[in-house]
A and B are shown apart, each in its own frame.
Chain A
Amino acid sequence: MAVKDKLKTDLFPTIWCPGCGIGLIMQQLASVMEELGLDKSNTVLITGIGCTGRMGAYMNFESVYTLHGRTLPVAEAIKLVRPELNVIVVSGDGDTASIGGNHLLHSIRRNPNLTVICNNNEIYGLTGGQTGPTTPQGTNTISSPAGATYSPINLQGLVNTNPNAYYAKTTVYHQGPMRKAIKEAIGWPGFAFVDVASQCIENNGRRIGFASANDMLQHYKTEYKAAPPGSTHLEPHQLGIVKGEPVAGPAGSDHGNGPASAEQNNGKS
């Protein structure tokens, strides 16, 4: 088997714009899947709405292309019913953190064994470039012509409210760290979140002053620095991983509330 066997190359070229960062994530994910032996009999992909949501259609796996914002309840239920499966969620920042924000909060709290890869391009790209939940304050977008009013959502802070979660920040330029993060996240026993800064040249980058996708990649190269070893908190534009204790939560999603509380009840009675 080769990496390209993970991809439906007969459907290429993809619908993503030239210079889009999503393909760099898909390529690395496919490569990690190949290395870890993930295939269509042991792994499913759950994607949301937005450009990133198309990824499920291009990979040789069974895939659920959910409603906007609803990847996590769908993924958690699948993991609960079929604990033996690797359940990988791939979605954008708007889908994950804005319309899906309530599910994100509660999935983090329940600590299911899911791998969430967030294509964080800091914009609503598919709809033309509106401000999203991760858009930096002051950024001009088509829905914030005078600059985005509010500060972006703190994904790291949210994920790390769960002491058993895994959070990684990386960029599509930093392929090595991204690969390591995706691989570790798939192996993590609880909730794992890989936050990947990724360029959208067509509907964001050009408007904010980048001439090309390559310029955006070079920006990631110069702006993002590795966090000092042992960091328990990442500053903005730091690459790194913040891990909790690697155990499944009490509600576990490998077992769910029912069987978990059954054990507790049996213990008491």
Chain B
Amino acid sequence: MTKRLVQGNEAVLRGAIHAGASYFCGYPISPSSEILAQASVYATTHPEFRFLQAEDEIASVNAILGASLAGAKSFTATSGPGFSLMQEAIGYGHKVGIPCVIVNVMRVGPGTGMPTMPGQGDLNQTRYGSTGDYTSIVFYPSTVAECYQYTIHAFNAAEESRSPVIILSDAFLGHLNEVADLDTIDVKVVKRTIEPLASGSTRLFSGVATYPDGEPATADSDEFIRQYYEGREHRLKVAEKYAFYEYGWNKDAETLVIAFGITRRIAQPLAAHFALFRPIRIWPTLDKELTEIAGRYKKIIVIEGSDGQYANVVERMLLRRVERVPLLGGRMSIEAIREGLGAIGMLPAELAPSGAVASATVR
């Protein structure tokens, strides 16, 4: 491939294929549907790539779990409402230990919300949506090329952690067309880590608490706790290998802006005035990295497409006050960021809408 226009959703699909995915199951939902449609097109010329448009998102996610156990690297793509429907199965995947990838191209929720408008309100549900305790690994790219790159990392992390790994995107990024040469992006692909079904053994893949021999362990607290910490430690250790973030802009500034996904792109005109921290691995949070960097700054502002989902996390992590610029209702624009900064008294004079200087500092 050479340089060409690539859409964010297409880049996710290309990344999945590069990572060795051979099973996709999904259900149409804006703004993720291009992944479903393009996967169906890919399947027509690649019989080894299995495709199903399922009856709903519950079927989709359970199907990718089954496909993974059968031996295929598998994935699905959806948006917030569909992701909510998948929650029970995501917890099941964590309990059983099944590698797979779920793409959530976020729109504005809750409910049916604003189906074609970008949002970032699904951070909490990618971490806490299923019943019980589990350790999610979640990545959120911010360019089309990164959609490709981090989808491959997501498949790798899924194999290594033996769990469903999530790629976040949004209506803006998913539908963004950028010039990219995906072939120049080099990410080593991790092979399958679980023996496919009918291996000649008699394993039981169970969402119920069981002993290794298949006997129910539904009343054995010690066994539950042992298995829980074993899974948690393993996944945290794997996540350490994927501690991706960006730190830049004006590092000598007094204030650190935290923005991720498409919001970091929108906030680019702030570059001369603030330092930037962009988490790419959203979960588990980058505690060590962010604590160290945040210590250099007097103030911290989180700019995000939700009413403080990540700001709350940062505030609790750092045990200090964090300023918030929530971009709600799909209004994810530099104007909305200016307004938000103005509302908390932190808009640099040069960036004021009426200031003729503003455009000069924009890069």
Physical interaction between A and B: yes
Binding site for B on A (CB under 8 A): 8, 11, 15, 40-44, 46, 49, 54, 56-57, 60-67, 70, 72-78, 80-82, 85, 102-103, 105-106, 251, 255-259, 261-262, 265
Asked if B206 is at the interface of the complex by the 8 Å CB criterion, the answer is yes
Query: Contacts A57-B215, A78-B70, A103-B59; is A262 near B43 (CB within 8 Å)?
Result: yes
A77:B43 contact, CB within 8 angstroms: no
What residues of A have a CB within 8 angstroms of the CB of B210 in the complex?
57
B50:A74 contact, CB within 8 angstroms: no
Give Cα A43 to B202, complex, Å: 11
Most buried by B among A54, A78, A102: A78
Identity of the chain B residue whose Cβ is nearest the Cβ of A255 in the assembled complex: B47
B 216-259 binary contact with A (CB < 8 Å = 1; else 0): 10000000000000000000000000000000000000000000
A85:B198 contact, CB within 8 angstroms: yes
B51:A257 contact, CB within 8 angstroms: yes
User: Which of B42, B54, B202, B206 contacts A60 (CB under 8 A)?
Assistant: B202
B25:A77 contact, CB within 8 angstroms: yes
B43:A40 contact, CB within 8 angstroms: no
A261:B40 contact, CB within 8 angstroms: yes
**Distance in Å: Cβ of B71 to nearest Cβ of chain A:** 6
User: Which of B45, B46, B67, B213 contacts A78 (CB under 8 A)?
Assistant: B67
Asked if B205 is at the interface of the complex by the 8 Å CB criterion, the answer is yes
Query: Contacts A65-B204, A258-B40; is A77 near B64 (CB within 8 Å)?
Result: yes
Q: How large is the interface on B (under 10, 10 to 19, 20 to 34, 35 or more residues)?
A: 35 or more
What residues of A have a CB within 8 angstroms of the CB of B51 in the complex?
256-258
User: Which of B45, B70, B205, B207 contacts A81 (CB under 8 A)?
Assistant: B70
B203:A62 contact, CB within 8 angstroms: yes
A265:B215 contact, CB within 8 angstroms: no
What residues of B have a CB within 8 angstroms of the CB of A74 in the complex?
62-63, 65-66, 69
What residues of A have a CB within 8 angstroms of the CB of B201 in the complex?
40, 62
B62:A56 contact, CB within 8 angstroms: no
Give Cα A57 to B92, complex, Å: 17
**Distance in Å: Cβ of A17 to nearest Cβ of chain B:** 15
**Distance in Å: Cβ of B195 to nearest Cβ of chain A:** 9
Binding site for A on B (CB under 8 A): 22-23, 25, 40, 42-47, 49-56, 58-60, 62-67, 69-72, 74, 88-89, 92, 196-208, 210, 213-216
B207:A67 contact, CB within 8 angstroms: yes
A63:B204 contact, CB within 8 angstroms: yes
**Distance in Å: Cβ of A108 to nearest Cβ of chain B:** 11
Give Cα A80 to B49, complex, Å: 10
Give Cα A219 to B22, complex, Å: 50
**Distance in Å: Cβ of B332 to nearest Cβ of chain A:** 35
Extra contacts besides A43-B198, A62-B203, A74-B69 (17): CB < 8 Å = A11-B213, A15-B216, A41-B200, A42-B198, A44-B197, A63-B202, A63-B205, A65-B204, A65-B208, A70-B59, A73-B62, A77-B23, A78-B67, A78-B70, A81-B71, A82-B196, A102-B56
Give Cα A49 to B206, complex, Å: 10
B202:A81 contact, CB within 8 angstroms: no
A-B contact pairs, 20 of them (CB 8 A): A11-B214, A54-B216, A62-B197, A62-B198, A63-B202, A63-B203, A67-B207, A72-B59, A73-B54, A74-B63, A77-B25, A78-B70, A81-B67, A81-B71, A82-B197, A102-B55, A102-B59, A261-B43, A262-B44, A262-B45
